[in-house]
Amino acid sequence: MILSTLFARQHVIVDEIYGFLLAYGAGWIAEKKIKVGERIEKYLPARVVFTVVLATIVVVFIITGYLP
Residues with Cβ within 8 Å of residue 26, at least 6 apart in sequence: 50, 51, 54
Q: Cα separation of 53 and 60, whole Å?
A: 11
Global pTM reads: 0.41
Angle between helices 13-33 and 44-66 (to 10 degrees): 160
pLDDT for 3-48, tens place per residue?
Answer: 666 666 666 777 778 888 888 888 888 878 766 666 667 777 888 8
How many CB atoms are located within 10 Å of the residue 59 CB? 13
When computed from its CA atoms, the radius of gyration of the chain, rounded to whole angstroms, is 15
